[in-house]
Amino acid sequence: MRIGHIQLANRLFAAPMAGVTDRPFRQLCKRLGAGYAVSEMVTSRKDLWTSLKTSRRADHEGETAPISVQIAGTDAAMMAEAAAYNVDRGAQIIDINMGCPAKKVCNKWAGSALMKDEPLAVEIVEAVVAACAPHGVPVTLKMRTGWCASEKNAVRLARAAESAGIAMVAVHGRTREQGYGGMAEYDTVAAVKQAVRIPVVANGDIDTPQKAREVLAATGADAIMIGRAAQGRPWIFREIAHFLETGEQAPPPSVADVKTWLVDHLGDHYRLHGEYAGVRSARKHIGWTLRGLPGGEEFRARMNAIETCEAQIEAVADWFDALADRSPLMPAAPRAADPAIH
């Protein structure tokens, strides 16, 4: 699996998710089997590049290659400048956001709203590709099937993007109008795969190894992208890899392994976000991991009152030690709630 000239470890991708796929989470997903992980979207607004949120999103210190940064905006020149800015800061792949359905993004005609204005969408693609080409940086595109059920233009836009120099396209199997409701459909993804020669990635509702195999078979896609199902269960990537290779279900991870992964992740998370923000933003990652586990909700309520990194990480370690005493293997847990997947 390649994106332009860049060879990937495998065809299992972690989807960009606002407030989730910061550098520590991307590193965790790669550690547990993802061959590729895309950053949270970085705005094309130059006046926000020095903000704390954007500076954290553009922080790739120690991140394993390839480093992929997603950018979002509505002005071709600004998007080109944003691409160059992020390449200067270590981005090896630039991804264009035409998939986010969030109202605060679409109301500004960014994200999936760009699919309603194909000339502008193509102009943005051309500008970003031109900005990245001198640096040898490939450009990818994340989009939906269309704006609404009557305006599914993914095939047409994918062809135009390929002609403009896009190296790979990822398609979430819903329209913008659907948001994350209903079921993802994969016929459109298959149609895109048939229409272009560049790699195509299938995204949406892939939450088990069996579903991953089914989607790959149904779409002919070159890779799959996983978002919500990796929350609290980032080892899903290695489970899928094992199933695709052997046809057998991988054994669940041990509680001790999950404790190690989570504690390591929390330490990395605190180093990026600092004490105050780190403790608070870590709560969702801990909560997702505890979801459905015996005593998880009770511990989560207590954990949400903890105010320091040291106390939070100690409480998590103690809770997992107690869980391991009851059962050495992780029990199955239900799937995550919908985040903002881009």
Report which DSSP code applies to 227: -
pLDDT in tens, 81-140: 999 999 999 999 999 999 765 555 544 546 678 888 999 999 999 999 999 999 999 999
Q: In residues, how long is the chain?
A: 342
- Are the C-beta atoms of residues 113 and 176 closer than 8 Å to each other? yes
Active-site residue flag, 100: yes
Label residues 82-118 b or e (16+ Cβ within 10 Å = b).
Answer: bbbbbbeeebbbbbbbbbbbbeebbeeebbbbbbbee
**100, 106, 132, 309: which is the annotated catalytic residue?**
100
pTM: 0.92
**Please, what is the Cα angle at 34 between 158 and 39, to 5 degrees?**
60
pLDDT in tens, 16-61: 998 999 999 999 999 999 999 999 988 888 888 878 787 788 788 8
**Overall average pLDDT of the 208-218 stretch:** 97
205 has pLDDT over 50: yes
Using CA atoms, how far apart are residues 320 and 262, in angstroms rounded to an integer? Answer: 10
Task: Say what the pLDDT of residue 217 is.
Answer: 98
Q: What is the DSSP string of 166-216?
A: --EEEEESS-TTTTT-S----HHHHHHHHH-SS-EEEESS--SHHHHHHHH
Model confidence at 284, in pLDDT bands (50, 70, 90)? very high
User: Measuring CA to CA, which residue among 278, 276, 254 is closest to residue 266?
Assistant: 278
Q: What percent of the chain has pLDDT over 70?
A: 93
- Are the C-beta atoms of residues 69 and 99 closer than 8 Å to each other? no
Using CA atoms, how far apart are residues 136 and 42, in angstroms rounded to an integer? Answer: 20
Mean pLDDT lowest among 171-180, 209-218, 230-239: 171-180
Task: Say what the pLDDT of residue 296 is.
Answer: 92
Residue 154 main-chain phi, psi, to 5 deg:
-60, -40
From the CB of residue 287, how many other CB atoms can be counted at a distance below 10 Å?
Answer: 19
Q: Which two tokens stand for residue 192?
A: 């895109």
Cα 238–chain centre separation: 16
Q: Where are the alpha helices (DSSP H) in 58-163?
A: 76-88, 103-106, 118-132, 154-163
Label residues 166-197 b or e (16+ Cβ within 10 Å = b).
Answer: bbbbbbbbbbbebebeeebbbebbbbbbeebe
Model confidence at 192, in pLDDT bands (50, 70, 90)? very high
